[in-house]
Structure 1
């Protein structure tokens, strides 16, 4: 095989009739929705989550001040055959300066890449990524990153082999289904809702040396989708605690709750009839024998939303118990919200809170892979060095702050 043929096999030529442009809601909305509906198929023989963006294709990035959505058109009919989204944010790198202030980097987050199954292997995905990287660099992004599953070989190949991204982090997704019964909370623990301003002060102190902590945390906490920030502490400590001082008790846990169901909903498809029947059976038995308080499996085969827990942190000898109580509290909130059928958290593999977050192992996974790439190669790095990219196995920080707007 000639060198030209080998190069073509590795990097398929982009179809000359493909053009990439900015998404226009007025004329593109219906076509993009249809494209994404056809692309949500998952892997053969395995369950898949189908995402409904509630009629707003830009919903997943709209909560960032700097965002864009691109579409790829093909042929004389200008059929939309590809789509991709991106937002730019400023986050911590996990390092601290000599004066103990966090090191921030400007980061582009790429998500929602879809290409029509009838137009693949034409280089359309590569062209979409390249155009998005160009826009990101023009808007000052120093790095770009994306998230996928380790089993998604085409996506990993596109980013790591063709686009020079490197595997970076491998967080764990912990899922707790919401069933029809309230979880009992310990009588000696108080749960306090704190104001967004106070929560911002606390989070800046707690997460300054973590990775991916957003500089605009105040905007996040004031967002209408944020249902509140809550602290769990013993009632003994609560009686002595004055939140106005900014000091925290010796033992406490804290988290914020994000309502995803107002932005998008999920639906599980691709499961067997037997699985359907088994899940239905748990709900039937629960309805017939409610006093047993069976943790039945909610109906995830119809459109549903979930609550996302973020900013999870615990300290002190009672921290684990307090975090478990806080998660039970979130479950009870979700139970009262019709259509919310799961409570989800995403944390670093070695984050201490991981072991304290209640979850069902069969519903949870640690197969997500975050890949990252340095965009500004020609600029001397003032914020962080290449070691941040090379530390794929051992993180600078055990803590990864997962922004709910990235979902």
Structure 2
């Protein structure tokens, strides 16, 4: 995913003898300060061009700690006197589609993220060594596949994984970004939005996503996480009196999603824009605050450290589905509006997922093609890597992967 963009350079080593590099597991007391400094120095972006910079919050391993099986590795250079690389990984059990009997197929999947190598120590084989060591840990812990995500423009990372580490391009989900405006978005008067308890949400999600890809088997753990702000369902008000959430039956027409708060894990900041762009964005906020009834599409202050809400588990059914999904997105926007530290609402969905057209977005902030690459470990009954894109239009994006 773009917010965990892998910052790797072409990792071809020179013909000279490589200096010693040791890869070992991260130790918080010993390594925290050095890793934080490395990540700060590895901010992604090109000079003179706008870039989205990630600032990790708290312990650097926090991004994978929400998984039961996780690890973080560091690369030491020059006899251990300097940490020059870092990588994270986790293992989870997810769906890879449906079998012929229509029951879900589960696989043990590793996710690789947060690869960083110091800019002064690239082209020494460090990134490749980090990936290989992490893959060995994944195999020892039973992973059948590993995957990573990056932007389609991040050619250095794609070259590293596809050319040197034998990953294949697999899926291309769409990232949809909506700025949080000053004004509240009104909801249709004939739409009801209700909060769904975690146990009911789990049942609904297992029902509607059983045939999708990447749906986590531990959805109950995800929904009970402290970063999960809750699950919302929208349905026509006329159907509300006759719907019992505990019955196990779904309304004829509905939309559902859950909301994840990213602020405690990492934060974002846009850098590299001109003074004129700064002034123009500030002007939209001033006008919007002075005349909210005009509904000026103001740009929040994304040039200072900020957080965002991530919408996941998006699904809609029935003839009113698109309208209900748009209503849910408005509801989430209004919740984010009350959080002064939240500047964006983000979702990531499959290219062919029907909800894609119902989710509000700004084209200038969104992008159509995130790149997910995958690799198979050993022999499995069915090679997921070779399954066609059309095999499942629905991709469940786990917010813990951000």
Name the TM-score, length of structure 2 as normaliser. Answer: 0.95
> Which of 294, 297, 317 in structure 2 is aligned with 1:295?
297
CA contact (8 A) 1:126 1:163 kept: yes
> In structure 1, what is the equivalent of residue 252 of structure 2?
250
User: What CA distance in whole angstroms lies between the structure 1 residues aligned with 2:329 and 2:64?
Assistant: 27
> In structure 2, what is the equivalent of residue 391 of structure 1?
387
> In structure 1, what is the equivalent of residue 41 of structure 2?
38
* 1:403 paired to 2:393: no
**RMSD over equivalenced CA pairs, Å:** 1.4
Q: Secondary structure at the match of 1:204?
A: helix
User: What CA distance in whole angstroms lies between the structure 1 residues aligned with 2:53 and 2:86?
Assistant: 16
> In structure 2, what is the equivalent of residue 206 of structure 1?
208
Residues 82-102 of structure 1: CA distance to partner in whole angstroms, max 9, x if unpaired?
00000100000012352x321
Residues 68-119 of structure 1: CA distance to partner in whole angstroms, max 9, x if unpaired?
0000000035200000000100000012352x32100000000000000000
- How far did residue 53 of structure 1 move? 1.4
- How far did residue 289 of structure 1 move? 2.2
Q: Secondary structure at the match of 1:190?
A: strand
Q: 1:221 to 1:308 in 2, by over 3 A?
A: same
Q: 1:224 to 1:97 in 2, by over 3 A?
A: farther
User: What CA distance in whole angstroms lies between the structure 1 residues aligned with 2:149 and 2:181?
Assistant: 29
- How far did residue 290 of structure 1 move? 2.9
> Equivalences for 1:336-347 in 2 at 5 Å?
336-347=338-349
Q: Which runs of 5+ in 2 are unaligned?
A: 1-10
> In structure 2, what is the equivalent of residue 27 of structure 1?
30
Q: Which runs of 5+ in 1 are unaligned?
A: 1-8
Q: Secondary structure at the match of 1:361?
A: coil
CA contact (8 A) 2:183 2:288 kept: no
Alignment: residue pair count: 391
Residues 242-293 of structure 1: CA distance to partner in whole angstroms, max 9, x if unpaired?
1111100110000001111121111111111111111011012122323323
> In structure 1, what is the equivalent of residue 89 of structure 2?
86
Compare 150-159 and 281-290 and name the one that shifted more.
281-290
Q: Secondary structure at the match of 1:354?
A: helix
Compare 150-159 and 135-144 and name the one that shifted more.
150-159
Q: Secondary structure at the match of 2:84?
A: strand
* 1:328 paired to 2:308: no
> In structure 1, what is the equivalent of residue 231 of structure 2?
229
CA contact (8 A) 1:97 1:103 kept: no
Superposed structure 1 runs of 4+ greater than 6 Å apart: none
CA contact (8 A) 1:181 1:295 kept: no
- How far did residue 12 of structure 1 move? 4.8
